Amino acid sequence: MHTTEPVAYDPQAVEARWQRAWAERGTNHVDLANGERPFYALMMFPYPSAEGLHVGNLFAFTGSDISARYHRLLGHTVFQPLGYDAFGIHSENYALKIGAHPMELTPKNVGNFQRQLERAGLMVDWRYKVDTSQRDYYRWTQWVFLQLHKQGLAYKKAAAVNWCPSCKTVLANEQVEGGACERCGTVVEQRFLEQWFFRIGQYAERLLTNLDTLDWSEVTKSAQRNWIGRSEGAEVSFRVDARDAQVRVFTTRPDTIFGATYLVLAPEHPLVDVLTTPDRVSAVRAYQERTTKQDLVSRKSVTEKTGEFTGSWAINPATGARVPIWIADYVLMQYGTGAIMAVPGHDERDFEFAEVLGAQFASQCGLSREAVIKRVVAGGDADANTPLEAAFTDDAAAHLVNSGAFDGTPVADAKAKVTEWLRAGGHAEPVVNFRLHDWCVSRQRYWGPPIPIVYCDTCGTVPVPEEQLPVELPHIADFKPDDSGVSPLARHAEWYNVPCPTCGGNARRETDVSDTFLDSAWYFLRYPNARREDVAFDAGITQRWLPVDSYIGGNEHAVLHLLYSRFVTMALKDGGHLDFEEPFTRFRAHGLIIRDGAKMSKTKGNVINPDEYVNEWGADSFRMYLMFLGPYQEGGDFRSQGISGVRRFLDRLWAAVRDADREGTPDADVMRKLHQTIRKVGEDTGALAYNTAIAAMMEYMNVLRRAERTVHVDEVAPLVQLVAPYAPHLAEECWEQLGHTGSVFDAGWPAWDAALMVEDTVEVAVQVQGKTRGRVQVAADATQEDVVRAALDDPTIAKFVTGEPKKVIYVKGRLLNLVV
């Protein structure tokens, strides 16, 4: 005879078994039409890279999954879908690099992701998977484009793009580093192409003010506010001297208009040709050509100021003085009116310009330094005549000088007063400007949804009728971009030549595809409708499930993806397709997993392959370890040795359930700790404070198994429910061991009983003069007098109490402070 070894926890077996069971029983399937208390838990879908799932992905998904499972245990019907952001320049570039075709490569990558994700044990209803590169998805992306077009929110205009002459391709701004192509280092040029834009600028104010109503991570909201960049000011008209023309400028400092000593136009400003005098034409033209050649990134970076005088003069409406009109590349056509009034005395850029080009101001305009750099604001020791060594921009407690009737007005009041005065004279209007510019959705690429527009010789620009969607992306072998500046699709006449949908005459398709960010700007609407072939989204289902209750994702998408999604939702609401305008009620940004203090990247060679860890420790341990690293919303440093602590905890839980005693009664002290733990774990899990929830469970385990005591079944069963969101496979197995036949995820969340939580004695810290000198054990209901007596009875404390206590501060059950 030999004793049978107790069965040890074998994560591989347990996980395989439950993944099979979940699939067979449909545990993760959601009844979208009937479920009670619907809860839409969304996580940012991944781009299916060839490298496979990254720990960062798994960290993000696990955090979302825990929240989703917790809500299910609380009794919600939880819909947690997942899919793939499979279109886009990343996939296309990678395909080009390895010489594969994205249409074949993408499904392979998706398959690999799918396999890895299924091992992670996410509570995803895979029947509602989306893949943005599939025709049954991008058909509706094109539909979204058409709705925006119908509402007048899509328009076409010529705009500058970055062009790499070596790669022969259009580059995104992020792909330009210091004026050069990030991949080959060639100097990037500007090209002007006709492109499609969405009028997101029209929604700037709404996108900004709605932020106050959203329950989002503060970092994310602040990033959006910066990006939208609202600024209040005025548009001021300057009449051009001796000509029938005027220059409109935008300024946030109308109060400094008495110090506006010259104007500057962007080199591409349409008035430049009109204003340039014959003697200045060659210099101005040369300067314009130079700036056009510059790439967009270095154009916007700070370099030494340059510019040219146009030969024309304008009249300052406040002073009546003649001021010269210049052009300079530090003024951007895209912002404001593309022209500024320069106040060198009180603007650092204008000051630098006036200093650097001082010689030209003297020789070409006949203006001395003092005439150009004029003080109109003074503060501190300075007065109207104090010379300016630098631009004076400290407006606090400053007032206007050399400003006629406004002398002495505090800067704080002057803005409104001067604007009103200018407005009354017909020279200015108060305006609000936004930095947010319209969204360019055209991509001169292959791997995206063709923009559903046709150009007809007779009818002009014609949207493709909705019933003719999708405009299918053809399988072409030569999808590589070339130096034509148009999409590879433009090489395929057999594809782009079509009859006009309106008149049947000769027409050509738009050959650009749309931006990947459009694919992801509406995917949350598609998930609950992923099986519908007749509509993009159904009104009833959408009303039932949206807006999204909880959205979790990385803050790298704080601006583009989240802002575009909000814009598209607003636009669809205005078009009558939705009855809400904010898609994500609650958004939380998760942190980043770093390693050895550095971001994980292939070049650093510090990338973690999740498969290795799942094989060695099991998915449950790996999930739980990722959550234990640090606060979820801050991320943490991955140390491979740390995982053993979490695994040890799960081993002990396994053993506790296996050996649990069904006879007898649970221990009162243990049960007290249990109820405290239930409360703590629930509060922390709801707040995404996963690291401290896990710590609380570990702490309970230390009590439960202290000195290898035998555990009673009632002491351990609720812990199985608490751990379920974190280690779902193990929890199911333990739940079954405890004699249940249904899933633990249908068992509910245990309730805590405040009466069972109270301690009968408490430890009170005793301070003398605010310094902790000892602690005393007292009954939980002890009065202040009881505690003082107990403290003074303790000689180690009493020796610090010299004389009669003057003041006694008692914080019930926690602390006593004696002041002598």
Partner RNA sequence: GCCCGGAUGGCGAAACCGGUAGACGCGGGGGCCUUAAAAGCCCCUUCCCGCAAGGGGGUGCGGGUUCGAGUCCCGCUCCGGGCACCA
Q: Which residue in this structure is represented by tokens 């629930």?
A: 682
Backbone angles phi, psi at 399, to 5 degrees: -140, 165
Backbone angles phi, psi at 495, to 5 degrees: -95, -45
Query: DSSP code of 663?
Result: S
Choose one: 214-222, 238-246, 471-479, 526-534; the region binding RNA (CB under 7 A). 214-222
Cα–Cα distance, 295 to 550 (Å, whole number): 40
Contact residue for RNA among 276, 555, 565, 685 (CB under 7 A) = 555
Cα–Cα distance, 52 to 62 (Å, whole number): 16
Size of the site for RNA (CB under 7 A): 83
Residues 58 and 624 sit within 8 Å (Cβ to Cβ):
no
Which residues, at least 6 apart from 230, have a Cβ–Cβ distance to it below 8 Å? 204, 205, 208, 432, 433, 434, 435
Contact residue for RNA among 3, 603, 796, 802 (CB under 7 A) = 796
Min CB(710)–RNA separation in Å: 12
Min CB(248)–RNA separation in Å: 11
Cα–Cα distance, 587 to 524 (Å, whole number): 13
Min CB(87)–RNA separation in Å: 23
**Residue 306 to residues 90, 189, 325, 326, 358: CA-CA distances in angstroms?**
38, 19, 14, 10, 11
330 lies in the site for RNA, by CB under 7 A:
yes
List, in sequence order, every residue forming a beta bridge with 500; answer none if it has no partner. Answer: none
Choose one: 9-17, 344-352, 382-390, 748-756; the region binding RNA (CB under 7 A). 344-352
498 lies in the site for RNA, by CB under 7 A:
no
DSSP reduced 3-state for 123: coil
Choose one: 95-103, 159-167, 298-306, 465-473; the region binding RNA (CB under 7 A). 298-306
314 lies in the site for RNA, by CB under 7 A:
no
What part of residues 590-619 is at the interface with RNA (CB under 7 A)? none
Min CB(656)–RNA separation in Å: 10
Min CB(584)–RNA separation in Å: 18
427 lies in the site for RNA, by CB under 7 A:
no
Min CB(693)–RNA separation in Å: 10
Contact residue for RNA among 82, 200, 223, 650 (CB under 7 A) = 223
Choose one: 181-189, 543-551, 576-584, 811-819; the region binding RNA (CB under 7 A). 811-819
Per-residue binding string, RNA, 739-778, x by CB under 7 A, is ------------------------x-x-x-xx-x--x---
Cα–Cα distance, 134 to 110 (Å, whole number): 12
What part of residues 430-449 is at the interface with RNA (CB under 7 A)? 433, 435
CA 45, 50, 51 angle in degrees (round to 5)?
90
237 lies in the site for RNA, by CB under 7 A:
no
Contact residue for RNA among 308, 347, 582, 715 (CB under 7 A) = 347
Per-residue binding string, RNA, 112-151, x by CB under 7 A, is ----------------------------------------
Would you say 66 or 689 has its CB closer to RNA?
A: 689
Contact residue for RNA among 63, 336, 344, 528 (CB under 7 A) = 336
Taking the alpha carbons at both ends of the chain, their separation in whole angstroms is 74
Closest listed residue to residue 657, CA positions, set 723, 580, 598, 756: 723
Contact residue for RNA among 69, 119, 149, 305 (CB under 7 A) = 305
Per-residue binding string, RNA, 618-647, x by CB under 7 A, is ----------xxxx--x-xx-x-xx-xxx-
292 lies in the site for RNA, by CB under 7 A:
no
225 lies in the site for RNA, by CB under 7 A:
yes
Containing 96, the helix (H) or strand (E) segment is helix 89-98
708 lies in the site for RNA, by CB under 7 A:
yes
Which residues, at least 6 apart from 489, have a Cβ–Cβ distance to it below 8 Å? 446, 450, 474, 476, 495, 496, 509, 511, 512, 513
The first and second tokens of residue 34, run together, are 């009937």
Would you say 501 or 630 has its CB closer to RNA?
A: 630
Q: Which residue in this structure is represented by tokens 């359930």?
A: 657
487 lies in the site for RNA, by CB under 7 A:
no
Give me the numbers of helices (H) and strands (E) for the chain, helices first please.
Answer: 29, 33
Contact residue for RNA among 19, 114, 231, 402 (CB under 7 A) = 231
What part of residues 240-259 is at the interface with RNA (CB under 7 A)? 250-253
814 lies in the site for RNA, by CB under 7 A:
yes
**Residue 33 to residues 38, 77, 78, 86, 570: CA-CA distances in angstroms?**
10, 11, 12, 29, 25
Cis peptide before 387 (omega within 30 of 0): no
Positive or negative, the CA dihedral 185, 189, 194, 198 is: positive
CB 410: neighbour CB atoms within 10 A? 15
Would you say 82 or 670 has its CB closer to RNA?
A: 670
Contact residue for RNA among 42, 263, 451, 694 (CB under 7 A) = 694
The first and second tokens of residue 36, run together, are 């009670």
